[in-house]
C-alpha cells in the first residue's frame, strides 16, 4: 500500500533530492505538484507522469481538498511560507510534511499544530538526519551509557552562501539566517543525542559582511545547558565552509560524525574506532517513515511538536544575542 504525495514548491530541494528520492520509496509515491511557475508543470508532468488533475498552483491549491488521489502535501517552499501552506493543506484535509525550519516563529508552529489537530491530520517536519543510520547509532550509543554519563557536545554546521539576492538572506522569507537554515542541524543533534530539551542558552553573533547580511544572521556561536548538566557548544555560519559535525563526550569515551549533516558521505569516529554504516537516501527514509505513520495511524517521531521545540530554542538564542544575557528556553 502506498501514500500519495504532492510536492508544494519545485525549487532546488524538490528537484534535486526529493523527487529523485520518491523514485526509491516503498510506501510514498509522487502523485502531484503545486507550483507557482507554469513552465514547470509540463516538465514535471512529463518527467514523473503526473496526471493533469493532480497539478495545482498557489491560488487554486485549496481545491486539492476534493482530490482523493493526494494524501500528503510536502511543503518545500521558503521558510516564511511554511505556515500558510501547512494550514491550507491541513484545512484541505491533507497530512502535511513540512521542510525545516518548521516556520519563522514558535507562534506560527503552534498555529500549524493546531490546524492539523483540528482537521485530524498528521504533521511531520523534514528532519532527515533522524532516519540516518550513523545518527541513530550515535544516539543509541550515547543513551545506552556505553561511554558513561555524557558531559559535553560540540556541534556546528555552516556553509559559504552565494547569491546575495536569494530568499535565504531576506528576513520575511527566511525567518533568520544561518541559525534558522543550518544551525538548526547542530541544535537538532544536541536534542536528538541527549533526548533532552535545553534549559537555557547564551549566544553571540558576529557579522563581517553587514551589507550582505543586513536582514539575517551571518555567524552565531552559542552554548546550551541540558537538564542533566550536559553542556552543548554550538556554532553556525553563512560565511565559510568546513564545519559540518558533532562530537559527544562521555565520562569514559567519545564519538562524533564529520561530515554529519550532508546528504551522503556521513563519516564517524569513536573511542573504539570508525563508525561505519551504509549510506542511505535520507529523504526516501523520511518520506517512507511518514507514509508508514499514516498507514499505521501513528504519530511521527519528527512531529510538529519537535519542530516547535527547535523554534523555541532558536528564539531563546536570538533573544540572548539581543540582551547579552543567559536566556531561558520557553517550554513547549
d(CA 240, CA 160): 4
Q: Which is nearer to ligand NAD, 99 or 218 (CB)?
A: 99
- Among residues 1, 12, 120, 144, the one that binds ligand NAD under rule CB under 6 A: 12
Between residue 268 and residue 287, which ones bind ligand NAD under the rule CB under 6 A? none
Please list every residue from 14 through 73 that binds ligand NAD, using CB under 6 A: 36-37
Whole-angstrom CA distances from 254 to 50, 131, 308 are 48, 21, 29
**Which of residues 99 and 217 has its CB atom nearest to ligand NAD in the complex?**
99
Dist CA 144 CA 163 (whole Å): 44
- CB-based contact 40:17 (threshold 8 Å): no
Interacting residues of 150 by C-beta distance below 8 A, sequence separation 6+: 142, 193, 194, 228, 230, 248, 249, 250
Q: Which stretch binds ligand NAD (CB under 6 A): 43-51, 74-82, 114-122, 290-298?
A: 74-82
Q: Tell me: does residue 10 bind ligand NAD (CB under 6 A).
A: yes
The CA distance from 307 to 187, in Å, is: 11
Q: Which is nearer to ligand NAD, 136 or 173 (CB)?
A: 173
Residue 267 has φ and ψ, to the nearest 5°, of -135, 145
Regarding 79 and contact with ligand NAD (CB under 6 A), the answer is: yes
Helices (H) and strands (E) in the chain, counts: 11, 15
Distance of CA 197 to the CA centre of its chain: 17
Contact window for ligand NAD (CB under 6 A) among 76-84, 116-124, 191-199, 288-296 = 76-84
User: Is residue 1 within the footprint of ligand NAD (CB under 6 A)?
Assistant: no
List, by residue number, the catalytic residues: 100, 185
Taking CB under 6 A as the binding criterion, the range among 77-85, 212-220, 221-229, 230-238 that sits at the site for ligand NAD is 77-85
| Closer Cβ to ligand NAD, 7 or 116, answer by number | 7
7 contacts 36 by C-beta, under 8 angstroms: no
Closest CB to ligand NAD among 58 and 254? Answer: 58
Closest CB 82 distance from ligand NAD, rounded Å: 6
Count of residues of this chain found to bind ligand NAD when the rule CB under 6 A is applied: 18
The residues near 92 (Cβ < 8 Å, ≥ 6 apart) are 61, 62, 63, 64, 65, 73
| DSSP 3-state percent helix, strand, coil across the chain (nearest 5) | 40, 25, 40
Q: Which residue number places its CB atom closest to ligand NAD?
A: 11
Asked if 128 is part of the footprint of ligand NAD (rule: CB under 6 A), the reply reads yes
Nearer to ligand NAD, 48 or 167 (CB): 167
By CB under 6 A, which span of 6-14, 156-164, 189-197, 204-212 interacts with ligand NAD? Answer: 6-14
Can you tell me which of 13, 45, 152, 199 binds ligand NAD, judged by CB under 6 A?
13
- Site residues for ligand NAD, 168-197, by CB under 6 A, read 173, 181
Q: How many CB atoms lie within 10 A of CB 279?
A: 15
Contact yes or no for 157/237 (Cβ under 8 A): no
Minimum distance between the CB of residue 13 and ligand NAD, rounded to whole angstroms? Answer: 3
- 55-56 and 28-34 strand pairing: parallel
| Contact stretch for ligand NAD (CB under 6 A) within 8-16, 45-53, 199-207, 298-306 | 8-16
| Closest C-alpha to 18, from 159, 79, 10, 40 | 10
Task: Decide if residue 198 touches ligand NAD (CB under 6 A).
Answer: no
The residue (of 76 and 243) whose beta carbon lies closer to ligand NAD is 76
CA distances from 320 to 23, 196, 208, 325 (A): 44, 20, 20, 5
| Contacting residues toward ligand NAD, per CB under 6 A | 9-13, 36-37, 76-79, 99-100, 126, 128, 167, 173, 181
Amino acid at each position: 500500500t502506498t501514500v500519495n504525495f504532492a510536492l508544494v514548491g519545485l525549487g532546488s530541494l524538490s528537484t534535486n533530492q526529493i523527487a529523485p528520492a520518491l523514485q526509491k520509496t516503498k510506501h510514498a509515491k509522487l502523485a502531484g505538484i503545486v507550483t507557482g511557475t507554469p513552465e514547470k508543470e509540463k516538465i514535471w508532468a512529463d518527467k514523473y507522469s503526473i496526471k493533469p488533475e493532480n497539478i495545482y498552483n498557489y491560488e487554486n491549491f485549496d481545491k486539492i481538498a476534493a482530490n482523493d488521489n493526494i494524501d500528503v502535501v510536502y511543503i518545500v517552499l521558503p521558510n516564511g511560507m511554511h505556515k500558510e501552506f501547512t494550514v491550507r493543506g491541513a484545512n484541505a484535509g491533507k497530512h502535511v510534511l513540512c521542510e525545516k525550519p518548521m516556520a519563522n516563529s514558535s507562534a506560527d508552529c503552534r498555529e500549524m499544530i493546531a490546524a492539523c489537530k483540528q482537521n485530524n491530520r498528521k504533521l511531520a517536519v523534514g528532519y532527515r538526519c533522524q532516519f540516518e543510520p550513523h545518527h541513530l547509532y550515535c544516539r543509541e550509543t550515547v543513551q545506552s551509557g556505553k561511554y558513561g554519563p555524557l558531559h559535553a557536545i560540540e556541534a556546528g554546521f555552516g556553509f559559504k552562501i552565494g547569491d546575495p539576492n536569494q530568499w535565504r538572506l531576506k528576513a520575511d522569507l527566511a525567518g533568520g539566517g544561518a541559525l534558522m537554515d543550518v544551525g538548526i542541524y547542530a541544535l537538532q543533534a544536541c536534542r536528538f543525542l541527549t533526548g533532552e530539551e535545553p534549559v537555557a542558552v547564551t549566544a553571540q553573533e558576529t557579522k563581517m559582511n553587514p551589507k550582505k547580511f543586513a536582514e539575517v544572521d551571518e555567524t552565531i556561536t552559542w552554548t546550551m545547558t541540558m537538564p542533566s548538566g550536559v553542556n552543548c557548544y554550538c556554532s553556525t555560519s553563512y560565511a565559510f565552509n568546513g564545519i559540518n559535525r558533532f562530537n559527544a563526550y562521555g565520562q569514559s569515551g567519545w564519538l562524533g560524525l564529520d561530515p554529519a549533516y550532508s546528504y551522503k558521505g556521513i563519516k564517524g569516529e569513536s573511542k573504539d574506532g570508525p563508525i561505519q554504516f551504509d549510506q542511505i537516501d535520507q529523504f526516501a527514509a523520511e518520506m517512507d517513515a511518514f507514509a508508514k505513520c499514516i498507514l499505521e495511524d501513528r504519530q511521527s517521531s519528527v512531529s510538529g511538536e519537535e519542530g516547535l521545540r527547535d523554534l523555541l530554542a532558536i528564539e531563546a538564542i536570538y533573544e540572548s544575542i539581543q540582551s547579552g544575557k543567559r536566556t531561558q528556553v520557553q517550554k513547549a
